[in-house]
Structure formats: structure tokens, C-alpha cells
Chain A
Amino acid sequence: MQHVPLLHILIVSTALFFIGMYGMFTRRNLITILMSLELMLNSVNINLAAFQRYLYPQQTDGIFLSLFIIIIAAAEAAIAIAIIIHLYRTYHSVDVEDASELKY
């Protein structure tokens, strides 16, 4: 446990964040975009937990913050999936390129 330095954990979370960002930019499927978003949120959670464990072991703020994020992510996933279902009913597709009418 003690053999894993903080830096490695940060590298993992940064990698996770940019993988999520890459997914958000490149995927066309809305479900995949949603999954990429979850990756980004979880990378933040890892960061928070690591900082709490390594830098401020006496305080619990980081843990609570990441708990909040998990709850918000769940709510957001519920709403996002509802929107996606609705889009699917309207356009018969979950491709983000097809839902580009809201402009100007």
C-alpha cells in the first residue's frame, strides 16, 4: 500500500480524465459519450480520494466531496439516459450528429 506513491495515482487519474475527454470528442454514440463523461467524473473522484489519503489523513472533506460527486453522477446519468431515450424516439437514432437542429 505504502509502495504506491501519490504521483502514480495522479498519473492514472490524469490519464483517465483525458481518455474520457477523448471519448467525448470522438464518439458519435450518445451512450458512449455518457460513459466517457462518467470516466472524467471518476478520475476526479480518484484525485480527491488520493489527496485526502496522502495529504490530509485527519480530515474527511475529500471523501465526502467524492461521495457527492457519485450521487450527482447517478442523478445526471438518470436524466441523460431519459433525454437519450427521448431523442431516440424522435430521431430513431442515438447519433449525436443527427440531433443538431437546435441552432441559430
Chain B
Amino acid sequence: MPNLYTILTILLFPLVSFLLLGLTSRRIPKNLAGLFATAMMLISTGASLMVAFNYFTLAPATGHAGNFETIFRFPWLVFNEKLSIDVCIVIDPLTIMMLVVVTFVSAMVHIFSLSYMKGEERFTTYFAFLGLFTFSMLGLVLAGNLFQIYICWELVGVSSFLLIGYYFTKPSAIAAAKKAFIVTRFADLGFLIGILVLSYYGESLDIATLLQRLGNSSDGRFQSASAASFLGLSALAWGLLLVFVGGAGKSAMFPLHIWLPDAMEGPTPVSALIHAATMVVAGVFLVARLFGMFILLPDVMSVITFIGLFSASFAAVIACTQTDIKRILAYSTMSQIGYMMFSLGISNSGDHYLGYTASLFHLFTHAFFKSLLFLGAGAVIHLVHSNEVEKMGGLRKHLPLVHLSFLIACLAIAGVFPLAGFYSKEEILLAAFSANRFVFGVALLTAGLTAFYMFRLYFLIFWGKPADITPHHHGSWLMSIPLLLLTGCTIVVGWLPFGSHISWGGITHHSTINWLFSAAPLGISAFGIAIAYIKYARPSDRTSSSDSAQNWLYRAAFKKFYIDELYLWITHSILTPLVARPFAWFDRNIVDGLIHVVADGVASCYYLFRKMQSGKLQDYLLYFMGGIAAWMIFFFYLWK
């Protein structure tokens, strides 16, 4: 059992960094601030690696995911003897895994940012926000209470808002930050209602208690929750669907994905943090955390499956057409998160919850190679000063280290043996194969698309006609350290015995490679890479993409299937005139009108009476004498 103080070290050091840097942002030297935040984060990372090592190797029999150990509990809000909110910290293998991912990626991002953000005016503020972001995500994974999760969930939202809108002098950055905040906030409304439904039927907010009561088909509360039906679905299904809406908003699942590509307006290391460790995996984590409830409802599970599957393939198609390096990576994140989601969704049918393990394994490996990709993209952008892949090309001579690490990350995300992505994607495909052949087919196709668009990006950046750039400054050695470490992780984390530590229902999975099965995904990845090579590797073929621009599918995908336009149309043409305007009219004329009547009445009385207060002594004397005379008349003549 992990030591409480070690866990508190992991959790609170980023918070200390945020508070100190946030309060003294103008008074301390920038270099010192950056080093302080990085040191705090490294301590936190070291502690979490130690905890994970002890947890998984010294006492491996501590149980499977969902088997919580509460190491800290404090009754916070006691409403009555049945309902109270206890602040608690719980530990299970899932939490430990997430702690490692979050702190490690955050530490890498901190080190990278020391060099990447050099010379920024709000350097200290940037590091303070990074601390807040990391702290919120750590709080989210350690929370043992839905209410606590919700608080941290919103903190994650607000810190992402602050970081996406970091360059707040750029109008596009402000718009992107607002969009991310509003879309995820809208989804969080669903999450909040879901929490209320679950806590109403489960009569608790504690996750372990809820899982015991509502994740157990013989419990009376489960039966009453699944008997009460609303619009054809049981109350429990509604609650879980609404919770999933919250998760889908944070994890950028279709149709709430629109904020993710725009979130690229933030600094590139922040994108690495958002995409690999902190924000988008929160939705997957939430579903995994409440998996014991989801698993009893096949309808909800299939909704998760198909939303995940659709997002995965949809984003992959869009990613093939984009020309902004960070947007391509953003859509690839959405696609990979889609993989994780549908893998969770299919895990109730088939092979002993293999999908659960596979999904979290993919989350784990994805964190490393996706942060590597983003940091590599950051190094490229640092050199080229542009996000457009058209302005890049032939960069492998300028940035040999970035080239190597980017290649390895691309191979990993394409699922090439023996890198990390191969093992996790293999497991997802295996789970899909045993659960649902249709899902398997689409997932396989998406894997091919993934290989294609990643290598399209790779060839466009590093091969082809060399772009005319002056290599005036290379990334410093501070940028190389995280790239090297993450490259190492991308190679080795696939070999970890993940399935024997994190699984559902106490069944461990030993990853063995079935070569016959692996042939299909490896083949389709190789096919995707080959097409990308033929189309994009040689300088003369640069313009071939403009030929296909006539194709309607290409144009639709390039425009992201007009989802943004659809949202704009709905809000501008339907919501604004039919809902917002009448409400605004009601607010302005009825609600405000009533207040104005009262206020104007009081004000006119005041204007009437204030004329008495002339400031002239003799006027007051007149009132005084007049008053006495009036009293005298009253008493002498009228008082009987």
C-alpha cells in the first residue's frame, strides 16, 4: 500500500509550483521560475515512478482495477447520515498508471518548455498554468468521489482554457480558448446531471460505494435504477450516458470534437500535455473508472463503441487531408482516443474484458508517442516558424535527432513491430476481433489510414524538396533530453507486462504475439506507409495533392466534413432567433422591466423629497417653526 505522504508529494508539488509562481510571477527571475517548476515536477515524477515500481513489483497481489484502496478520507460535506461527501484519495492500478503517465509527460513538457518558451514575456505564468493543469489531472485520477472528480474535471477545463488562450493577443487564440471551454463546459452539464442521477439512485457519491450498489445486478438499488425508465431507457442508462457525454466532451469524441483542432492555438508543448496526458484521456479514464456500472448495460456500451469507432475513422479521414502539422496530430489524437473508447465499449462481449486492458494499454503507450510527436513538431515549428507542412521539407538534415525520434513515434503510432503502439493496437484489434467483426474491420481500415497520414506528415516534413530556411538556431540540449527520453519510452513501454497488472475482474492477460493474427494489421500499416512514400516522399510529387482537390470527398474531408459550419448554422439560424432572442427579450423587458419600475419609483420619490434639503438655514427654520405651529394647532383645536 503506497505511503500517503508520497502520494501527497506527487499531488501537491505541482500545486505548490502553481501557487508560488502564480503569486510571485512578476517578482522572481524567469529562469529561476522555470527551473523551480521543473524541479517540482521532477520530484513529483520521481515519487510517482517510485510508487508505481513499489506497487507493481513489490506487492503485485494488491488486486485489479476497480479494487480501491482508500488511503485518505476526510468527511467534508455531511448533509445527513445517508448522504455525505468525503474527500478521499483512492489507489488502484489504474490510478497508479495514470500518475506515472501524467507526471512523466508533464515533466518532459516542462523541460522542453524551458527552451521552447524562452524569451516569452509571461514565461512564469506559463509554468504556473502548467502546474495547475498537472495538479488538476492528478487530483482527477486520485479522486475517490464523483463530486471530487467533477471539481478536478472543471479545473482541468479552466487550466486548458488558460493555456490554449496563452497568446491572448491573437484573436484566433482567444476564440479557440473560448470554444474549448464552452464545448467542454456544455458536455460537463451532461456529466453533472449524470452524477446527480447516479447519486440519486445509488444514494452515495463515493465511487467504490456506487460501484458496489449500481455495479451489482443483485443489489436492490441497481434494480430500482434500471426499472425506472424514461423515454425508453432506464434511469441508470440515462445517468451513464450523460456521464459519457461529459467524457466525450473532454475526450473530443464526435460530435463534441470541434474544440480539439482549434486548441492547437496554444503553445506546442501545451498541446503535447493536453493530447498525451492530461485533458483528452480524462474521458477514457472516467469511463474506465466507472466501468463496473457501464458493463452491466449493453446499450450504453454499444453507444460508446460506435461513437468511439466513428470518431476514430472520421478523424483519420480528416487527418489525411489537413496541411497544418499540429492539426494533423490533433486529428490523430482524436482517432486514437476513439480507439480507446470503442475498445472499452466492446469489452463486455468476448474475451474476458480484454478490451478494457487493451484500451488502457493504448492510453499508456499513446501518451509517450503522442507527446513525442508533439514535442518533435514543436522543435520543427521552432525552426521553421510556421505550422504549414508546405513550408517544410527536407528537414532531416537540419534536425537529425528530431527526425529520428519523429520517425520512431510515427512507426509506433502506425503500429509497427516492435514499438509500443504495435502491442497496444494489436490488443485492441484482438479484442475487437473476438467481440464484433464489423468493429474489427473498421478498426483495421483506420489503422491503415493512421499509417498513411502519419507517414504523409513525416515525408512532407523531413523528405522531399528542402525548404529554404536559415538554420540560425537549433533547439538547445534542453529540447533534446525530453525527445531522447520519450523515444526510449516509445520503444520499451510496449514490452511491459501491462495486462497482468491492469485488468478488469481480476483476470490477467499475458501479452503473447499471435503472428498469424498480426499479419493483417502489420500488412495494412505497411501498405499505408508505402502509399505515403509513393505519393509524398519525392520532391516532384509535391503537387499531387492538388489534383485530388477536385474530388468531393477530399474537399469535404479538408473542410472537416463541415461540422464547424453545421454548428455555426445551428447556433446562428436556429438557436439564436428561436431560443436566444425570445429569452433575451423576456430578460430585457420583463425581468429587467420589473426591476426598473421599482427602481424608478424609488428614484422619483427621492427627486420629490430632496428639494426640501436646500441647504439654507432659514428654510430649515421655517420647517421647524411650521412643525411646532402645526402641532400646536393640532393639540389645541383638534385634539378632543
A positions within 8 Å CB-CB of B: 21, 24-25, 33, 96-97, 99-104
Pairs across A and B, CB under 8 Å, 5 listed: A96-B616, A97-B616, A100-B614, A100-B617, A102-B615
A100 touches B615 (CB 8 A): yes
Tell which of A96, A102, A104 touches B618, judged by Cβ atoms closer than 8 Å: A96
In the complex, chain A residues whose CB is within 8 Å of the CB of B625? 21
9 A-B pairs closest in CB distance = A103-B615, A100-B615, A103-B613, A100-B616, A96-B617, A102-B615, A104-B613, A104-B610, A25-B618
Interface flag for B32 (CB, 8 Å): no
Q: Mark B603-639, 1 if CB is under 8 A from A, else 0.
A: 0000000100111111001100100000000000000
- Kindly name the residue among B610, B616, B617, B625 whose own CB sees the greatest number of chain A CB atoms within 10 A: B617
Asked whether B618 lies within 8 Å of A101 as measured between CB atoms, the reply is: no
Contacts of A99 in B (CB 8 A): 617
A-B contact count (CB 8 A): 23
Contact between A24 and B618 (Cβ–Cβ < 8 Å)? Answer: yes
By a CB distance below 8 angstroms, the chain B residues around A21 are 625
B123 to nearest A CB, angstroms? 53
The chain B residue sitting closest to A99, CB to CB, is B617
CA of A101 to CA of B613 in the docked complex: distance in angstroms? 10
A100-B614, A103-B613 known, 14 other contacts, Cβ within 8 Å: A24-B618, A25-B622, A96-B616, A96-B617, A96-B618, A99-B617, A100-B615, A100-B616, A100-B617, A101-B615, A102-B615, A103-B614, A104-B610, A104-B613
Select the residue from B613, B614, B621 with max chain A CB neighbours within 10 A: B621
B621 cross-chain contacts in A, Cβ below 8 A = 24-25
Report how far A99 CA is from B621 CA in the complex, Å.
Answer: 15
Which residues on the B side are within 8 Å of A25 (C-beta)?
618, 621-622
Interface residues of B (CB under 8 A from A): 610, 613-618, 621-622, 625
CB distance from B295 to the nearest CB of A (A): 72
For A97, what are the chain B residues with a Cβ–Cβ distance below 8 Å? 616
Q: How far is the CA of A83 from the CA of B216 in the complex (A)?
A: 87
Closest to B617 in A: A96
Q: What residues of A have a CB within 8 angstroms of the CB of B610 in the complex? A: 104
- Chain A: CB-nearest residue to B612: A103
Closest to B619 in A: A100
Assembly CA distance A24 to B615 (angstroms): 16
A21, B626: Cα distance in complex, Å = 12
A96 surroundings in chain B (CB, below 8 A): 616-618
Q: How far is the CA of A104 from the CA of B616 in the complex (A)?
A: 12
A15 to chain B, nearest CB (A): 17
How far, in whole Å, are A21 and B613 apart by their CA atoms in the complex? 21
Q: How far is the CA of A21 from the CA of B610 in the complex (A)?
A: 26
B610, closest chain A residue (CB): A104
Query: B219 → chain A, closest Cβ, in Å?
Result: 71
Closest to A102 in B: B615
Question: What chain A residues lie within 8 Å of B617 (beta carbons)?
Answer: 33, 96, 99-100
Among A25, A97, A103, the most chain B Cβ lie within 10 Å of the Cβ of A103
Closest chain A residue, CB of each to CB of B613: A103
On chain A, the residues within 8 Å of B615 by CB distance are 100-103
* CB closest residue in chain B, given A97: B616
Give, as a whole number of angstroms, the nearest-CB distance from A40 to chain B: 10
- Report the minimal beta-carbon distance from A96 to chain B, rounded to whole angstroms: 5
A33 to B625, CA, bound (A): 15
Q: Which residues of A contact B613 (CB under 8 A)?
A: 103-104
Residues of A within 8 A of B618 (CB): 24-25, 96
CA distance A97 to B614 in the complex (A): 11
Given the complex, which residues of B lie within 8 Å of A33, measured CB to CB? 617
What are the residues of chain B within 8 A of A104 when measuring CB–CB?
Answer: 610, 613
Complexed CA–CA distance, A104 and B314 (Å)? 70
Q: CA A97 – CA B616 in complex, angstroms?
A: 6
Chain B residues, Cβ within 8 Å of A100: 614-617
CA distance A96 to B610 in the complex (A): 20
Closest chain A CB from B630 CB (angstroms): 15
Q: Closest CB-CB distance, A38 to chain B, in whole Å? A: 15
Note all chain A residues with C-beta closer than 8 A to B614: 100, 103
Residues in chain B near residue A24, CB distance under 8 A: 618, 621
Q: In the assembly, what is the distance between CA of A103 and CA of B616, in Å?
A: 8
Whole-angstrom distance between the alpha carbons of A25 and B614 in the complex?
A: 15
Which B residues lie within 8 Å of A101 (CB)?
615
Minimum distance in angstroms from B624 CB to a CB of chain A: 10
CA distance A102 to B620 in the complex (A): 12
Once bound together, how far apart are the Cα atoms of A85 and B616, in whole Å? 18
CA distance A24 to B610 in the complex (A): 24
Q: How distant is A23 from chain B, measured CB to nearest CB, in Å?
A: 11
Name the residue on A nearest B618 (C-beta): A25
A97 vs B619: C-alpha distance when bound (angstroms): 11
Q: How far in angstroms is the closest Cβ of chain B from A27?
A: 9
C-alpha spacing A78/B622, complex, angstroms = 24
CB closest chain-B residue, reference A25: B618
Distance A101 CA – B614 CA, assembled complex (angstroms): 8
With both chains docked as a complex, state the minimum distance between the C-beta of A16 and any C-beta of chain B, in angstroms: 16
> Once the chains are docked, how many angstroms separate the CA of A70 from the CA of B625?
22
> Chain A's nearest CB lies how many Å from the CB of B478?
66
- Interchain CA distance A33-B610 in the complex, whole Å: 26
Complex Cα distance, B615 from A101, in Å, reads: 6
Q: A33 to B621: give the CA distance in the assembly, Å.
A: 11
Closest beta carbon of chain A to B553's beta carbon, Å? 75
Please name the residue on chain B nearest to A101 by beta carbon: B615
A100 to B622, CA, bound (A): 15
Question: Who on chain A is nearest to B625 by CB?
Answer: A21
Shortest distance between the CB of A31 and any CB in chain B (Å): 13
- Which of B614, B615, B622 has the most chain A CB within a 10 Å cutoff? B615
- Smallest CB separation, B623 vs chain A (Å): 12
Q: Which of B614, B618, B625 has the most CB of A within 10 A?
A: B618
